């Protein structure tokens, strides 16, 4: 009897393995007109190679190898799904502009466990339009506030001013040098300081959240993905607690983002929690990375740093010492905008997005089969030497006289109906921070490596 059970179990195992192999490779046979490419191993396909860490201003070994072998559009098996990978600017634009007609947002199901089912990043159709319209309304209301630019500048001044005090209290032997972890300091520029206990708790969980978001999505206790799901639950609980506290009788209105969000009757409490997380991801994490990247790249180009400093010296020379920056001042920061755009092109905060073909799509000589995942890779376009000469080098002057902000060659904030609603806010925050940094500090560049082996962008800062 035991032998029969063992044989049955073996037969089931072999059948399962055969089904897995067939389901993996069958799309290759059924879709001979799909782009050339390879599928790799059953189930995991080529996902691990695709996700292998590499410098943000390089394509990485996987894309370099596949583009060389198969061209800029190729097929693969990624995230457990047959996939067409696009490193072509025209196809990327075509995909983004045909959202909900030919293609649809399609992040892997495990990612929903981190982001939540109500996240604007994963919801579809009318739900996405509703949430995005609310995000645009919040951004617009923020920009219309008389204190909007002043609030951004006050926070930037507070952060850079704190370095002077810390440098003054520094060791005499190091000359009062203050070494700054810019990604950490940039988060304070956005008004999120770990000094407040509740904020510190959210930021600690958010760090685990971010590490899991870019990890292999397999829920095993102790893995980054599992920790991210648990962190998301804790953040959700914390935010719900804040919401209840704000709703309690006698609570003071702060007039901040959360008060505006709570006043909306269009969202459920779960959607409001997801909205806060989306705001942290889009308006906090990515913006702090942008500020860090601008400083990182300027630290390697003395000429560009000098040009930025001259521009801000000119702006400040026409203002009183304590006079606040205005929207007119921001418009004068032309070279600063070139620096920010070039940092976005080289740094590639968002490397690619997930889409799915809703039907068979013919594009030029390619057939994208219905149901296949489609990955428009923005970084591959940003770093294409035929589109951007000397593409791996930071050269802000390449942006002069161009309409790069709306170009197919430059999509740091995505495109189509899912274009990031807060892109301009991020640029203003980066520009104002840079204004006070270059006018008040001399700097030198230093790179360290953290416990995970990832490079930490840092700058040594000397107060003038």
Exposure of 39 by Cβ count < 10 A (0-12 exposed, 13-18 middle, 19+ buried)? middle
Give the residue among 124, 19, 62, 59 at the shortest CA–CA distance from 417: 124
Collapsing DSSP to helix, strand or coil, 375 comes out as strand
Tokens (6 digits) for 31 = 């879709």
> Please, which pLDDT band fits residue 312 given cuts at 50, 70 and 90?
very high
389-419 pLDDT, tens digit each:
899 899 999 887 665 555 799 999 999 999 9
Number of domains in the chain: 1
Asked if the structure places residue 168 within a domain, the reply is yes
Q: How far apart are CA 66 and CA 40, in angstroms?
A: 12
CA of residue 115 relative to chain centroid, distance? 14
Q: How confident is the model at residue 457 (pLDDT cuts 50, 70, 90)?
A: very low
Q: What pLDDT score does 444 carry?
A: 47
pLDDT attached to residue 173: 46
The verdict on whether residue 420 carries a ligand-binding annotation is yes
63 close to 377: Cβ distance less than 8 angstroms: yes
| CA pseudo-torsion sign 392, 394, 400, 405 | positive
Residues 6+ apart with CB under 8 A from 227: 208, 211, 212
Quick one: tokens of 55? Answer: 């410098």
Nearest partner of 359 among 372, 377, 340, judged by Cα: 372
pLDDT computed for residue 4 by the predictor? 62
Answer whether residue 347 shows pLDDT above 80.
yes
Measured CA angle at 91 (ends 90, 97), to 5 deg = 90
Q: Hey, what long-range contacts does 180-184 have (CB within 8 A, 24 or more apart)? A: 180/458, 180/459, 180/460, 180/461, 181/456, 181/457, 181/458, 182/291, 182/292, 182/295, 182/296, 182/457, 182/458, 182/459, 183/288, 183/289, 183/292, 183/456, 183/457
How much is the average pLDDT of 75-92?
95
Rounded mean pLDDT, 124-129: 91
Secondary structure of residue 433 in the 3-state scheme: helix
Q: Please give the backbone phi and psi of residue 376, each rounded to the nearest 5 degrees, phi first.
A: -75, 120
Judge contact between 73 and 91, C-beta under 8 A.
yes
| Owner of token pair 């799309």 | 27
Provide the pLDDT confidence category of residue 86 given band limits of 50, 70 and 90: very high
Tokens coding 272: 């409001």
- Those residues with Cβ within 8 angstroms of residue 138's Cβ, 6 or more apart along the chain or in another chain: 257, 260, 261
In a domain, 1, yes or no: no
- Establish if 6 belongs to a structural domain: no
Q: Which domain holds residue 361?
A: 30-463
**E strands within 79-201?**
81-86, 103-105, 178-181
CB 376 within 8 A of CB 103: no
CA dihedral 159, 163, 169, 173 (to 10 degrees): 160
Three-class secondary structure of residue 373 per DSSP: strand
Residue 240 pLDDT level (bands cut at 50, 70, 90): confident
- Three-state SS for 270? helix
Taking residue 55's Cβ as centre, other Cβ atoms within 10 Å add up to: 12
Q: Does 336 reside within a domain?
A: yes
Q: Which two tokens stand for residue 402?
A: 């161009």
Can you tell me which residue has the tokens 């990043």?
121
Q: In the beta sheet, which residues pair with residue 455?
A: 449
Over the chain, what is the mean pLDDT?
Answer: 80
CATH of the domain at 211: 1.10.630.10
Where residue 95 falls among pLDDT bands split at 50, 70, 90? very high
| Average pLDDT over every residue of 385-390 | 92
196-215 tens-digit pLDDT: 677 677 777 877 777 777 67
pLDDT band at 229 (very low <50, low <70, confident <90, very high): confident
Length of the chain: 464
Cα four-point dihedral sign 426, 429, 435, 440: negative
pLDDT of 51 above 90: no
Q: Which two structure tokens, joined as six digits, stand for 206? A: 């958010």
């Amino acid at each position: 009897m035991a032998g029969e059970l063992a044989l049955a179990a073996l037969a089931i195992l072999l059948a399962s393995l055969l089904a897995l192999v067939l389901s993996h490779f069958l799309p290759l046979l059924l879709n001979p007109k799909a782009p050339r490419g390879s599928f790799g191993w059953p189930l995991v396909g080529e996902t691990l190679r695709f996700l292998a860490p590499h410098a943000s201003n390089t394509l990485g070994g996987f894309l370099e190898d596949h583009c060389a072998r198969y061209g800029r559009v190729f097929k693969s098996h990624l995230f457990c799904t047959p996939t067409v990978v696009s490193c072509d600017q025209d196809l990327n634009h075509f995909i983004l502009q045909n959202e909900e007609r030919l293609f649809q947002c399609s992040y892997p199901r495990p990612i929903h466990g981190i982001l939540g089912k109500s996240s604007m990043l994963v919801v579809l159709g009318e739900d996405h339009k509703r949430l995005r319209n609310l995000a645009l309304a919040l951004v617009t209301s923020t920009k219309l506030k008389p204190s909007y630019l002043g609030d951004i500048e006050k926070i930037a001044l507070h952060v850079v001013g704190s370095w002077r005090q810390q440098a003054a209290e520094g060791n005499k032997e190091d000359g009062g040098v203050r070494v700054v972890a810019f990604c950490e300091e940039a988060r304070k520029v956005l008004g999120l300081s770990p000094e407040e206990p509740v904020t510190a708790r959210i930021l600690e969980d958010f760090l685990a959240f971010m590490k899991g978001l870019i990890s292999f999505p397999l829920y095993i206790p102790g893995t980054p993905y599992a920790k991210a799901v648990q962190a998301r639950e804790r953040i959700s609980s914390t935010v719900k607690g804040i919401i209840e506290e704000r709703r309690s009788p006698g609570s003071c209105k702060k007039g901040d983002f959360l008060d505006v969000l709570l006043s909306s009757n269009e969202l459920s409490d779960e959607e409001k929690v997801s909205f806060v997380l989306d705001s942290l991801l889009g308006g906090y994490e990515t913006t702090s990375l942008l500020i860090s990247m601008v400083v990182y790249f300027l630290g390697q180009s003395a000429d560009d740093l000098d040009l930025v400093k001259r521009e801000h010296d000119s702006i400040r020379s026409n203002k009183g010492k304590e006079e606040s920056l205005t929207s007119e001042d921001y418009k004068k920061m032309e070279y600063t905008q070139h620096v920010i755009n070039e940092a976005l092109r080289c740094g590639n905060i968002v490397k690619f997005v997930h889409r799915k073909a809703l039907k068979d799509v013919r594009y030029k000589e390619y057939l994208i089969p219905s149901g296949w995942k489609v990955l428009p890779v923005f970084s591959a376009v940003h770093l294409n030497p035929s589109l951007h000469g000397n593409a791996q080098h930071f050269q802000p002057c390449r942006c002069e006289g161009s309409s790069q902000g709306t170009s197919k060659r430059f999509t740091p904030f995505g495109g189509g109906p899912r274009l990031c609603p807060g892109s301009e806010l991020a640029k203003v925050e980066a520009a104002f921070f840079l204004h006070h940094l270059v006018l008040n500090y001399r700097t030198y560049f230093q790179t360290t490596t953290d416990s995970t082996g990832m490079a930490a962008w840092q700058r040594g800062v000397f107060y003038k």
